[in-house]
Amino acid sequence: MIDYYHTFHIPVMGTGHSVDTPIRVAPLGISSVISLVDDILLEQIRRYYSEKYNLPYVEIPRHEENGRAKRITAYLEVVREIVQLRMEDIRQQPFFADNDKRKYFELLPDESPLKKDYSRLFDMQAGPGRDALEGDLTRRMRAGSIDVNIMVKLDNTFDRNGHPRDDEFSDAKTALKGYADSSLKSGIVFSAGINQSLYTYMTRFRDFYRDERGEVKKKIILKVSDFRSALIQGKFLAKKGLEVHEFRIESGLNCGGHAFPTNGILLPGILQEFKEKRGQLAAEFKPLILRHYRDMGWTYPEPGLETGPLITVQGGIGNHGEVRRLQEDFGMDLTGWGTPFLLVPEATCVDAPTRELLRQAGESDLYISGASPLGIPFNNVRNTGSELWLRKMAAGGRPGSPCAKGYLISNTEFTKRPICLASRQFQKNKLEEINQMRLPEVEKKRLREEIMEKACICDHLGNGALIALGIAEAKDAPQCICPGPNLAWFNKIYTLQEMVDHIYGRGPSLVSSQRPHMFANEIVLYVDYFEKQVARSQHTPKEIKNLREFKDNLEKSMDFCLDIGRRQPYPGENLASIPSVVEQQKARMKSLYAGFEKKCAIRERGHDEACPPQVGILQ
C-alpha cells in the first residue's frame, strides 16, 4: 500500500545533508529520510529549529542516562511539530494565489487523482460547487513521511571513552528506541546488512505491529542488494510477527554514501529476480506472521491479509525515461532520488562552498574512496573541506582527527580500549609501524596514504549542515560529502519545482541527451571495481575463485543489459548507449582477466603456493 501521493522519495544522505529535509519538503507532500547516527548533531539542529519556530527547548546533556535515545526522540518530535505547523499553514492558504498551496498541488504527479481534481478547479465558476471542491482538496492534502535510517552495522557497544556498555544501550538499539518512543507515524529504513539482535529488540515496541484497524504506525523498510537478502531478512522478521512494508533495492556502486558492490550481478538482473519472485515474499512471510499473532494471543486484522511489501529502487536514476523502465518493465512501485537533490537548496542542508563543488564536479572528480573508517568503499568528491583539512594536518605532522563522537571506534590493534581508524591516536601508531617495516619506500608510501585517507565521517558528514544553518564556521568544521557518480550529469543549482518536474518528465530535461543510460553507467563502475580487485589480488585460491565468479556474473549481467538495450526506449531514455558500452567493457574485462591469468600462470610455473596448480585457473 502506497500511503503518499508522490512516486519518489528522497533517501538518507550522510548524517547531515538530509537532517532537516522533512522540514523542508514534507509539508509539500514529499517523503524523505533522516539519519539517526549522530544524536549530538540532532541535538544541535533541534536547538536551532526550536529557536527559529519559538518552540520550547531544554538541553539534553551529553552524559544524561539514556541520553542518546532521548535526544533522537526530542529531535523527531520537533521535526514532526514543525511539519504539522507548516502543513496547517499551507492548508489555510487560498487557492488561485502564488503560494505554497499552489506549489503543493503543482508538484504532484500528473496522474495523481488529487492533481486531476485540482486541475478541475480552474474550469469552474466561483460558487458553492467550487467551494466544496476546494474544501475537499484541502482535506485530502497530506504531508510527506518523516522517515528515519539506521545503518545496522553501526552498533557500537562502547561509550565514547571506550568503556563497554550493556548491549541494550548499543548505538543502534538506542537509535531504534529514540524512534520508537517518538509519536511519528512513518517508516524506519534498516541499511548495511542484517542485525538480528537489533531486529529482536524491535519486538519490544508495539508500534511495529498492526493495530486493530490493520495499520502499522511505524513501518519497516529494508534496504537490500538482492532477492536472497530480502527473503532471509523478511523471514527472520516474520517469525517475530514483524512485517516488511518496503524492500528498497539499491545499486551496489551507482549510488551515494557507502558502496556495497555485489559479486558482479548488476541491477537489472536483481530487479528481474524481484519481478519474477515477488509473490514468493508475501506467500512465505504471511503464514509466519499469522502464527506469531496467534502465539501472542493477538487478532490479526483482516485489512492486512491481502497486503504485501512494496518493492522500490534507487541508485543512479537520471531521467523520467529510466523511471518508466523501472516501473513498467520491472514493476517497481517507487523510485529513490538522492544525489541530484544535493543541488536543490530547498531540499537539502549543504553549505554553499560544498554545493558549488558538487555543481562543478565532473566524472573524474567523483570516485570510490577509502575515506570511511569502516573499511567499506565510500563515494566521494575530490577537494572537499575534509580532504583539504586532512592534508593540512598531515603536512603539519598531525595526521588523523580528534575522535569527538566515537561512533566508529572498533580497533584494538594498539590499545585495550577500541579506537577509530581515523583518530590521531591510531594513525600515529600505525604510521610508526609502517616506518619500521622492511618494504620498498614506494610500498610504504602507499600504505601511509591509505591510513591518512581515513576521515572522521562521524563529524565531517554533519558539518556541512551546521555551516549551512549558521551554527558553525567553515574554518572550524571540515566538510565531507558522499554523492553518487550520477552527480556528474547535473551541473546547476535547481529549484525544487525543476527537479520534481524532471523526475516526472515535465518540461526540459535537466541532463544532456548524451548522458549514458543508468544501466550503462553501472556497467562501467563494475568493470572499474573489477580492475581494482585484480590489481590488489595476491592470487590466493580464494581470490581467484571470487574473481572468476565476479567475471562470469558480470558477463551474464551485461548480456541481459544488451537485451534491454535492444528494446524500444521510453521518451528521453538513452537505451542506444548500452550496446556500445557492453562491447567496450566486455573487451576491457577480457583484457584485465587475461592479464590476471597470465600472472597466475607465471606463479604456477614457479610453484608459488599462493596460486597452486589445482586451482585450474587456465582451464
Candidates 367, 267, 270, 264; CA nearest to 316 is 267
CA gap 433, 86 in Å, rounded: 56
H or E element, residue 222:
strand 218-224
The span from the first CA to the last CA of the chain, in angstroms, equals 51
Residue 45 has pLDDT above 90, yes or no: yes
CA distances, 599 to each of 250, 408, 541, 544, 592 (Å) = 35, 38, 13, 11, 11
Per-residue confidence (pLDDT) for residue 281, from 0 to 100: 94
CA 93 from chain center: how many Å?
34
Per-residue confidence (pLDDT) for residue 162, from 0 to 100: 60
Cell of 487: 552527480
- Are residues 205 and 319 both part of a single domain? yes
Q: What average pLDDT score do residues 375-384 get? A: 92
247 backbone dihedrals φ, ψ, rounded to 5°: -100, 120
Q: Which of 456, 480, 504 is the last residue of a domain?
A: 480
Residue 8 has pLDDT above 60, yes or no: yes
Q: Is residue 494 part of a domain?
A: no
Which range marks the domain in which residue 459 is found?
A: 366-480
Mean residue pLDDT of the chain comes to 91
Q: Is residue 495 part of a domain?
A: no
Angle at 530 between CA 526 and CA 532, to 5 degrees: 120
Per-residue confidence (pLDDT) for residue 469, from 0 to 100: 97
Residue 313's pLDDT band (cuts 50, 70, 90): very high
CA gap 572, 570 in Å, rounded: 6
Residue 403 has pLDDT above 70, yes or no: yes
- Are residues 387 and 444 both part of a single domain? yes
The model carries a pTM of 0.92
Q: Is residue 80 part of a domain?
A: no
Per-residue pLDDT of 269-305, as tens digits, reads: 999 999 999 999 999 999 999 999 999 999 999 888 8
Q: Is residue 229 part of a domain?
A: yes
Q: What is the DSSP string of 568-610?
A: PPPTT--TTHHHHHHHHHHHHHHHHHHHHHHHHHHHHHTT-TT
CA gap 592, 590 in Å, rounded: 5
Q: Which of 453, 480, 507 is the last residue of a domain?
A: 480
Residue 485 has pLDDT above 50, yes or no: yes
Q: Which of 429, 464, 480 is the last residue of a domain?
A: 480
- Are residues 322 and 199 both part of a single domain? yes
**% of the chain at pLDDT higher than 90:** 74
Q: Is residue 61 part of a domain?
A: no
- Are residues 333 and 373 both part of a single domain? no
CA gap 190, 234 in Å, rounded: 12
- Are residues 154 and 120 both part of a single domain? yes
Q: Minimum mean pLDDT among 11-15, 241-245, 415-419: which range?
A: 415-419
Q: Is residue 54 part of a domain?
A: no
Q: What average pLDDT score do residues 292-319 get? A: 92
Q: Is 185 exposed, middle or buried (0-12, 13-18, 19+ CB in 10 A)?
A: middle
Q: What average pLDDT score do residues 347-362 get? A: 96
Per-residue confidence (pLDDT) for residue 233, from 0 to 100: 95
- Are residues 294 and 426 both part of a single domain? no
- Are residues 393 and 303 both part of a single domain? no
Residue 114 has pLDDT above 60, yes or no: yes
Residue 618 has pLDDT above 50, yes or no: no
Q: Minimum mean pLDDT among 17-21, 443-447, 564-568: which range?
A: 443-447
- Which CATH number goes with the domain that contains 181? 3.20.20
- Are residues 101 and 243 both part of a single domain? yes
369 backbone dihedrals φ, ψ, rounded to 5°: -115, 175
Residue 55's pLDDT band (cuts 50, 70, 90): very high
Q: Is residue 219 part of a domain?
A: yes
**% of the chain at pLDDT higher than 70:** 95
Cell of 444: 610504504
- Are residues 216 and 290 both part of a single domain? yes
Amino acid at site 329: D
- Are residues 284 and 222 both part of a single domain? yes
Residue 7 has pLDDT above 70, yes or no: yes
Give the chain's domain count: 3
- Are residues 174 and 290 both part of a single domain? yes
Residue 617's pLDDT band (cuts 50, 70, 90): very low
> Is there a contact between 27 and 143 (Cβ–Cβ < 8 Å)?
yes
CA gap 318, 517 in Å, rounded: 8
- Are residues 377 and 246 both part of a single domain? no
Q: Is residue 223 part of a domain?
A: yes
